[in-house]
Amino acid sequence: EPEVTQTPSHQVTQMGQEVILRCVPISNHLYFYWYRQILGQKVEFLVSFYNNEISEKSEIFDDQFSVERPDGSNFTLKIRSTKLEDSAMYFCASSERGTTNYGYTFGSGTRLTVV
């Protein structure tokens, strides 16, 4: 069964450092998403990406965040200057169409710890 792949699985970084989280969505999917989940809290939407541009973003996705699809397979989330409160599990997801009834396939996540 096709999977969404995320690397690394764990990342520890110092406050103020830049991090890049990587995702390889399912190959025939067109819509890509980043979500985050702070420990013990709900899954929160960050950004959606379609046709090489951001289609929607939440209030969380401020100027510290950016996304990019540098080639035909990777989808990245960059946090420019990490803060302690950025510590969370970051999930990438993809879907074939934005209105699919088969849900979104999530990757296994990157656990980011900011110290």
Partner 1 sequence: GQNIDQPTEMTATEGAIVQINCTYQTSGFNGLFWYQQHAGEAPTFLSYNVLDGLEEKGRFSSFLSRSKGYSYLLLKELQMKDSASYLCAVRDDSQAGTALIFGKGTTLSVSS
Residues of this chain that bind partner 1 (CB under 8 A): 31, 33, 41-45, 48, 50, 55-56, 58, 89, 91, 95, 98-99, 101-109
Which C-beta is closer to partner 1: that of 20 or that of 43?
Answer: 43
Shortest distance in whole angstroms from residue 26 CB to partner 1: 13
Shortest distance in whole angstroms from residue 75 CB to partner 1: 15
CB atoms within 10 A of CB 65: 18
Shortest distance in whole angstroms from residue 27 CB to partner 1: 18
Which C-beta is closer to partner 1: that of 82 or that of 105?
Answer: 105
Amino acid (1-letter code) at residue 103: G
Provide CB contacts within 8 A for 65, sequence distance 6+: 46, 47, 77, 78, 79, 80
To 5 degrees, how large is the angle CA 105–CA 75–CA 30? 55
